[in-house]
Structure formats: structure tokens, C-alpha cells
Chain A
Amino acid sequence: MRLGPPRRSLSKRSRTVLALLAGALLVLPACGQFEGVHDDFVAQGGENEGLGGSEGGSADGGATGGDGTESSGDGGGSDDASGGGGGGGGGGNDNGNAGNGDTTGVTADTITIGIHAPLTGAAPLKQESFATGKDLYWQYGNGGKPVQIHGRTVETVFADDQYRPSTARQVCQTMAEEQQAFALIGAGGTDQIQACAQYAASEDVPYLSTGVTETGMGSLDTYFAASMTYRQQAPMLAAYIKNELGVTDASKVAAVVTNTPNFDDAVEGFTGAFDGVDVFRPDKNERGSSAAGNLCTGTVKNYDVVFVLTSPTFYLEMAAASGCRPQFAGVGVSMGLDQVASTGCSAASSTEGARFFNPTPAFADAGEYDPDFLAAVDAAGIEADDVTWMMWGQSKVLHQMLERAGEGLDRGAFMDAVAGQKFSTGVFPDLNYANGPFGATQVSVLRNVCSGGGHYETDFAFVSGF
């Protein structure tokens, strides 16, 4: 007990109290179990099936999963440069629990899915577009009529994860267990997606998200990334900066990446492909304006191109405070939102010309890539935006997956039907899960245009290299 000085001055009674406390502290250690910790961590998300074979022998790997318990999981092949998250073997996320009988969220005529996204916090999505966008595909995606999957329609529930990993875990549990969601979707936010994915894996709930980090995700056997991970995109971005933006001098390039271990893989990927760039790692709750002091000296540029991987609010603050207007470029999901472009443009056009890799082409060009989208928007009579568009694409991916899982839908059958398979939607990149959960190889490049209200336009659609 560290209560030294005051303790001497206390009475006998309070000593009794303190002694009680001390007793409690000593008793408490006895009620834990050493052996359990590791297994539990495994069940918690460190599950690792990357042993090679896709034979369905061990039905649930939870108890036997070997290493990969560190979230940086070396065993899971998450550092594998090829991006094959399953590491050792093809179909690494096929745990062979076909038809496991877990039909949570599936009734005779409905399937419920749960979506989490930040509506408050540092990267908030617009509430209305989210509320209307989440059901658009399921209600109007079938030529203006509700989508039918083997006779079932799809219902959605959603929750605000507040841009916090721990809230994400709570809301995912609530959606999957109380609201009976069959599968979960993460719409954005790396740390939140990781936290929810690890929960989903521990409870064998299918989980689909846009590609974010690979750290601790490659070995999750219920997880599927619907677009390229940051680790996969970073070398492509380096090539893009060199070949398309024409900046090859590493000393003229900076990277501003939020200080979370989940972005370490993206930083490694970037610096590996672009040796010698300056890297700044601001904290998650730091203000963007303080980072601007590094990018500019007055109105003189210290760097020609700045790779940003932060929250949108941070990026906008940094851009607004950078009087020298460097060229911003980056990867990610939430940065590609028109909301971000429009806010950045209204701050003295500070984000004009910024380029971001995005899962989908720009919302402005949606009609070109999927005319059904505009038709559905008309049929629903809503005001669509890019959040709606992004939700549309992700729903379309999930639709194909559910379709393939067949009529006798359960969580095991779903996982089996997705692992190792290919999907193509024309909105999200083409997917091939033959080598694990990071199955995308294409991105679209969006450019921030300020004239006519800030928005993004498509520079490249579905490219796999520069």
C-alpha cells in the first residue's frame, strides 16, 4: 500500500478500513487463471488458421489457434508484402464450418444486417445520408423494388461507433446479439473496424468492411475486406506520386500519419516504396493546425506532396492552416467524401486538387458506373450523396455474397461461400478471396475539385498500378 504519510495520521478505525482494502488487494489476485489468458486472447481475435490447408477438419479453431496473438501478429502473415493475409495458405480464412447451423438474423423471409459508422467524433458521417443510404440498395436495388435473396429481403440496423474502438466493440455486440444481425458491416474508421472485426471473429459473426489496416486482421476467419488495404495501397500511392504527380525527390515528400499502430503497416509500405520521405505521426486527439507548422514556412512549401492518413477533421484543419497549399494525396475511405472536399474548399480552397485513393469512383460519376443507382435514388425519392453511394456499393458486395451462400443460409455457410471466391460489382473493386481476406487489387483515384461547390471527380477508375 502506498498510503504512507496520511496513514500514520489516521485513527485505528480507518486503519481497519485500509487493512480491509489491502486484504482485498491480496485476495483479488487469487481469482484469476493464468492458463486462460492466452486461449482467451486467441478467441478474442488472435485466431490464426494460417496453417496452409483449407481442409475443414478442425471445425472451430478457437481453442487450437497457434500464434498471432500479438495484434501485430507475425504468424498471420499480416506483414506479408504480397498482401496475402492468410499467410501460409490459400483460403486461409476458410475455417470449414460449413452449415454450422447458426442462423441468427435469418428468418423465413428476412435477413438482418448491422452497420456501424461514426456519426459523432472526429470523422462524422452525415446522419441523414447514413439513415437514408443504408437501406437504399436493399429497398430499391432490384430495379426499384426490394432485393430478394432466395426469397428473403434484407433489413438493416445501425449504430454510431463515435469513432472509438471500444464503442465500436459494444455496438457490434449489441447489433449481433441483441438486434440479431446476421452479418456486420464497417463503413469506415480503421481502429473501429479492427475492434469490431475482432469481436466478430470471436463470436463467428461474418464481418465485411472497406479495406483498412492488415494488422491483426489477416488471421480473422470471419473477416473480408471489400477494398484494398492501406498496406496494399501505400506502395501504389508512392508509384502514383512519382509517375503521375511527377515528384521523385523524396526530400520533397512528407507523410502525416496518425500515431496508431494500425497505420504502421501503411507507413512501412509507403516508406518502403519511397525511401527517405519525412514522416510525422501526430496523436489521434491532436489538432491538425499544429501539424501545419511542419509543412510550410510562412507561405513557402517545405514539401511538394504530403501523404495524409489521418481523420478527416485533422486533415481539414491541417490543410486550412497550411498557408503554402501543398499537394495532398492519400489513401482511405472517409477522406474521399464530398463532405470533406466541400469543407476543405470553403476554407479558402485549401484542399483544391488533393488526390485520394477510394474504393469507389466519385459520386459525381456514379451514373457512369452503375445506372441502377440513380434509378434507385429516383425511385426512393431521396437526396443521394457519396455516403449513399458508398453504402450502395458495399451492400452490393454483400448481396453477391449472400446470394452465393444459397437458400440454407447460416453463418457457416456464408463464410464458406465467400472464402476463396470472386465477386464483381462494378462499384467496389473486383474481389478475389483466393489468398485470404484482402482480396481487392484495384482503386479509383479521386481529385478534389472546388469549382461548383467542393466535390470529387474521378481521375482513374479501377486501376491496379501506376
Chain B
Amino acid sequence: MGAFLALGLFQGAVYGLLAVGIVLVYKAKRVFNFAQGEFGGVAAFTAFAIVVGAGLPYWVGVVGGLAAAVAMGLIVERVIVRPLESSSRTIMLVALVGVALFTIAIIVLLGQPIPRVMPPLIAGGGVNILGAGILPQQLILMAVLAVLAAAMAWFFKTDMGLAVLASSQDTRAAQVVGISPVAVSRLVWGMAALLGGIAGLLYAPVGIFTPGFMTLTMLVPAFAAAVLGGMTSLPGAFIGGLAIGVVQNLGIYYLGQQLKVPGAAELGVFALLMLVLLIRPQGLLGKEA
């Protein structure tokens, strides 16, 4: 039981990390970014190719992976997001779903759909937290999440962050005072891609990764985390991520192992998501839009 709580917290850190990126894009562009997970996928596979495939040092892999993610973010912004700016949000959502599936298809096509192992930042055995073996990599992940959530929250207090918010609320008015919507759009997508890339790089070494690992299992809980946190709140994304992770693993423990309900983790996420949307649609820390 304690082990599941601890596993949930650290699993939740990954959701939180993805959710921070999702919230960033939503705050700035009012778009649900379904491609957020695949920024991480691209970063992880690029880093794997550099570190394991080419045998270069780890930091080269990290830089290369993040660069690939940011490049993808900027390409998506230029090729997909900006031209579709004026179309409905549903079409934009479908397009971003397409981007995610496209990226997975590319990765499957270039690399094989076989499971891979990325070496962790710090090797070595885990520490025992509440009876769960937690790897050093997971501790790093948790720390990075806390730092990034705080950094993002701070970003929106800076001039640049305020410019992004202003542009999202009234593009025309922001343009009048000299805030270029194109620059804002690039900045937001580049930052979101960077966040996604960090999430992918940190999560890939925890266990095994396969093409689409960030989208297929992580994205929906991450969205639930963002909604739980209020969709526009960065601390909310952090807390929401951890909460979703814990709920998932408690679901596995109580529903799955005690009551033998299949798919307990997904059931837990769905139930929590519905509860939040019905009872408190503005989320835990969100403000009324």
C-alpha cells in the first residue's frame, strides 16, 4: 500500500511535467496540445541514437535530444499551428492529434518498434521510500518538475510572460503595443517543446521505452492533471500530476489487486476527471475564466 503511494507520486511527477507544458500552451494559445507527449518521444529517441547508437557522451545526447524537440516544436508551429490559427479549435485539436500520430509513425519507420533502454543519468540501485524502490532518475525527475513548475509560474510574472498573456487575451491590442503574435507563438511552442523534451529525456531511462511511450500511456493522465489543476495554473499542474499518479496507483492497489477490476488505473483517471469537471470545473487552483 505504501509502496503504491510512493510509486504513484513518482509516476505523477512525469504527468506533472507533461501537464506543465500543456498548461503553458493552453494559457497562451487556448489550444489543447496533443503533441506535447511526442516532443518527449522525439527527444528520447534522438538522445538514444546519440548516446547508445553513436556512443557519444551523455551530455551531447541531452543537448541533441532537446534541440530536436525544440526544432520539432518550431516546425509544428510554422507548418501546422500558424496556418490553422483561424480554423476552429476542434480542427486544431485534430491536427495536433495528427502531429502526434505522425511523429510516432516516423519513429516506428526510422527505428524499429522494439523496446529500448536508455541509460539513466545516475546509475545505481534505488532508495527505499515507503517500501517502493525509487531510482535516482525518479528523484531527479521530481526535483526538475518542482523547479520547472516554479520557473514557469515565475515566467508569467516577467514582462515577456505578461506579453504572452496579453497576446492570448487580445492579439490585436497586444500588437498595437508592439507585441508580435508570431514571436509570441514561436516562443510558446519552443518552450512547450523544450518542456516536453525534458520530460521525455528524464522519463525514458525509467524502465523501457517504445515508440509512442509518452503519448500512449502518459498523455491522458497528464491532461487530467492539467484539468485537475485548473488548466491555467502551473502550480496546479504540478499538484494535479502528483494527485493523478497517486489516484492511479491507489486504484491499481484497491480496485485492481483487491477487487480484481481490470484497467483500474484508467478507471481511476476517468473517474477523477469526471468528478473535477462536474463538481469544480475550474479545477483546484484555477481561476474562473
Please list the residues of chain A having a beta carbon within 8 angstroms of any beta carbon in chain B.
Answer: 119-121, 124, 126-127, 259, 283, 285-290, 293-294, 296-299, 312-313, 316-317, 320-324, 339, 343, 346-348
Contacts and interface: CB of A to CB of B under 8 A. Distances in A.
Interface string B103-140: 00000100011111101000101101101110100000
Contact of B112 (A124, A316, A317): A124
5 contacts: A124-B114, A298-B128, A313-B115, A343-B114, A346-B117
A121 B265 CA distance: 21
B95 interface: no
Interface string B252-269: 100001000011010000
Contacts of A321: 133, 207
A319 to B, nearest CB: 9
Contact of A347 (B3, B117, B249): B117
B175 interface: no
A320 B117 contact: yes
A324 B207 contact: no
Given A289-B207, A296-B133, A323 B115 contact: no
B63 interface: no
Contacts of B262: 259, 283
Contacts of B116: 343
B210 interface: yes
Can you list the 7 inter-chain pairs with the closest CB atoms, starting with the nearest?
A323-B133, A298-B128, A346-B117, A347-B117, A320-B207, A323-B126, A120-B113
Contacts of B208: 288, 313, 316-317, 320, 343, 347
Contacts of A288: 207-208
Nearest to A322: B133
Given A288-B208, A298-B126, 11 more contacts: A124-B112, A124-B114, A126-B114, A283-B262, A290-B7, A297-B3, A317-B115, A343-B116, A346-B52, A347-B117, A348-B123
A320 to B, nearest CB: 4
A320 B125 CA distance: 11
Contacts of A313: 115, 208, 210
Interface in B123-160: 123, 125-126, 128-129, 131-133, 135
Interface of B: 3-4, 7, 52, 108, 112-117, 119, 123, 125-126, 128-129, 131-133, 135, 206-208, 210, 217, 249, 252, 257, 262-263, 265
B112 A312 contact: no
A348 B123 CA distance: 8
B249 A290 contact: yes
Contact of B115 (A120, A127, A343): A343
A348 B207 CA distance: 10
Contacts of A348: 123
A293 B264 CA distance: 15
Contacts of B135: 323
The SS class assigned to the B binding surface is loop
Contact of B4 (A293, A296, A323, A343): A293
Contact of B252 (A119, A127, A290, A320): A290
Contacts of B207: 288-289, 317, 320-321, 347
B191 to A, nearest CB: 29
Contact of B114 (A293, A322, A339): A339
Contacts of B210: 313
Contacts of A127: 112
Contact of B131 (A283, A298, A316): A298
Given A124-B112, A317-B207, A321-B207, A287 B217 contact: yes
Contacts of A294: 257
A316 B3 contact: no
A259 B262 CA distance: 9
Nearest to B263: A283
B263 to A, nearest CB: 6
Given A316-B115, A321-B207, A347-B117, A293 B7 contact: yes
A290 B265 contact: yes
A322 B132 CA distance: 9
Contacts of B252: 290
Given A290-B249, A323-B125, A299 B133 contact: yes
A259 B264 CA distance: 14
A348 B136 CA distance: 13
B135 to A, nearest CB: 8
A283 B265 CA distance: 11
A317 B129 CA distance: 20
A298 B129 CA distance: 7
A119 B117 contact: no
Contacts of B3: 293, 297-298
B44 to A, nearest CB: 14
B102 to A, nearest CB: 16
Contact of B113 (A119, A283, A346, A347): A119
B131 A297 contact: yes
B257 to A, nearest CB: 8
The listed residue with most A CB atoms (<10 A of its CB), out of B112, B117, B129, is B117
Contacts of B133: 296, 298-299, 321-324
Nearest to B253: A293
Contacts of B257: 294
A323 B135 CA distance: 8
Nearest to A124: B113
A221 to B, nearest CB: 34
Q: Which one of B108, B133, B217 has the greatest number of beta carbons of chain A within 10 Å?
A: B133
Contacts of A124: 112-114
Contacts of A283: 262-263
A438 to B, nearest CB: 30
